[in-house]
């Protein structure tokens, strides 16, 4: 912390320095950040909080497919810069948007309790009653997630997939205007925006594994900022932390970012952590999937071991081909 925070005239309790919270401006980001602020307020009554909203590259570049921008930290970098230059104290992210390697000097201070991590199908009203398996051939499904694309192409080759960008409400509006017949979206985001009633089908993990960290929030802060680390500690959820650390270690070991077809499914049963992971090619032709069990005491070891298993089955080859294609 800066020397300012401990100047002698500052009473130790009471008039505390406001905690400056960095957030993106989208409706979903603000809903998530407000939830974090409520939690902080509940655990530390009277703690002054200040909201700083920022736009990230991902909010500004809206006309290019995510996979083509492909920059790591598309939705997080500007928030991290504000932490590093001292203009904010903590940043709230959708954990799945946060790269698995953080910039020097920043840490993941807390991983919050997880909302439902599964993906969902939202259809045009006229198609109510259909499911992915029963939709007519050629039905147009919007997603710009290579992970969703690869798995759904694999399971439902009769469907047609089309890129879609923009925040959640923009996407739903495009669906309602008839630009798509359906969309694949995270259950968590729909729930947080009160749009849960629009879900037609929740995708079973046997069909589609979710993104690393999906449904959890990551609170990032400066390494060694003990005051902030102490304040956010009560927001950490032990089970979500074990699961997400395992998932992130898996993704890190595969050198995967948010733009590779990699999915996971994790469960904690007692002291045991079960992690399933998959790597697929973009066409959904090859799909490698396996499971690793280990101890919740060392979740990252479970993720690393699972990555090793998938590499032995050819995951590296698939990912190298995708990286080579992306560079072209």
Instruction: Point out the residues that are catalytic.
Output: 97
296 touches ligand DPM (CB under 6 A) = no
Q: Which residues contact 127 (CB under 8 A, 6 or more apart)?
A: 135, 139, 181, 182, 200
Q: Give 245 or 258: the residue with its C-beta nearer to ligand DPM.
A: 258
Separation CA 2–CA 227 (nearest Å): 11
Q: Give 96 or 265: the residue with its C-beta nearer to ligand DPM.
A: 96
| Residue bearing tokens 């879900």 | 199
76 touches ligand DPM (CB under 6 A) = no
Q: Decide if 39 contacts 235 (C-beta within 8 A).
A: yes
Q: Which of 144, 128, 123, 126 is nearest to 258 (CA)?
A: 144
The pair of structure tokens assigned to 66 is 């995510």
172 touches ligand DPM (CB under 6 A) = no
Q: Which residues contact 136 (CB under 8 A, 6 or more apart)?
A: none
| 248-267 positions binding ligand DPM, by CB under 6 A | 258
Separation CA 284–CA 148 (nearest Å): 10
Q: Decide if 139 contacts 160 (C-beta within 8 A).
A: yes
CB of 263: closest distance to ligand DPM in angstroms?
A: 8
Using the rule CB under 6 A, give the single segment among 36-44, 143-151, 234-242, 275-283 that binds ligand DPM.
143-151
97 touches ligand DPM (CB under 6 A) = yes
CB of 304: closest distance to ligand DPM in angstroms?
A: 21
CB burial readout 117-127, b (16+ within 10 A) else e? bbbbbbbbeeb
186 touches ligand DPM (CB under 6 A) = yes
The interface mask with ligand DPM, positions 77-96, x = CB under 6 A, is: -----------------x-x
| 211-240 positions binding ligand DPM, by CB under 6 A | 211, 214-215
CB of 186: closest distance to ligand DPM in angstroms?
A: 3
Separation CA 74–CA 61 (nearest Å): 10
145 touches ligand DPM (CB under 6 A) = yes
Residues in binding contact with ligand DPM, number by CB under 6 A = 18
The neighbour count for residue 240, using CB atoms within 10 Å, is: 23
CB of 168: closest distance to ligand DPM in angstroms?
A: 6
The interface mask with ligand DPM, positions 194-213, x = CB under 6 A, is: -----------------x--
Instruction: Classify 263 as helix, strand or coil.
Output: strand
Instruction: Classify 203 as helix, strand or coil.
Output: coil
CB of 216: closest distance to ligand DPM in angstroms?
A: 7
Helix (H) or strand (E) holding 58: helix 57-60
Among 144, 151, 276, 292, binds ligand DPM (CB under 6 A): 144
CB of 184: closest distance to ligand DPM in angstroms?
A: 6
Interface residue list for ligand DPM (CB under 6 A): 66, 94, 96-97, 143-145, 147-148, 164, 185-186, 188-189, 211, 214-215, 258
């Amino acid at each position: 912390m800066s020397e300012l925070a401990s100047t002698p005239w500052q009473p130790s309790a009471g008039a505390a320095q406001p905690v400056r919270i960095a957030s993106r401006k989208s409706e979903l980001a603000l809903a998530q950040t407000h939830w974090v602020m409520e939690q902080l307020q509940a655990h530390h009554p009277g703690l002054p909080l200040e909201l700083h909203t920022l736009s990230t590259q991902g909010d500004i570049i809206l006309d290019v497919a995510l996979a083509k921008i492909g920059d790591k930290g598309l939705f997080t970098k500007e928030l991290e810069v504000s932490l590093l230059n001292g203009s904010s104290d903590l940043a709230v992210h959708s954990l799945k948007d946060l790269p698995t390697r953080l910039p020097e000097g920043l840490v993941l201070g807390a991983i919050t309790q997880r909302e439902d991590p599964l993906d969902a199908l939202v259809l045009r009203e006229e198609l109510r009653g259909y499911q992915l398996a029963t939709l007519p051939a050629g039905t147009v499904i919007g997603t710009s997630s290579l992970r969703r694309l690869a798995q759904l192409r694999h399971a439902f080759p009769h469907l047609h997939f089309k890129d879609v960008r923009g925040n959640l409400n923009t996407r739903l509006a495009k669906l309602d205007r008839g630009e798509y017949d359906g969309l694949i979206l995270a259950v968590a985001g729909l729930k947080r925006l009160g749009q849960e009633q629009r879900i037609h089908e929740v995708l079973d993990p046997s069909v589609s594994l979710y993104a690393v960290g999906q449904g959890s929030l990551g609170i990032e802060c400066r390494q060694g900022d003990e005051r902030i680390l102490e304040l956010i500690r009560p927001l950490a959820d032990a089970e979500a932390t074990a699961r997400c650390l395992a998932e992130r270690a898996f993704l890190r070991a595969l050198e995967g970012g948010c733009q590779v077809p990699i999915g996971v499914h994790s469960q904690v049963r007692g002291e045991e952590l079960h992690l399933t992971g998959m790597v697929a090619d973009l066409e959904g032709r090859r799909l490698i999937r396996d499971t690793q069990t280990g101890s919740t005491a060392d979740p990252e070891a479970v993720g690393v071991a699972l990555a090793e298993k998938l590499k032995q089955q050819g995951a590296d080859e698939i990912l190298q081909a995708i990286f080579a294609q992306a560079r072209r």
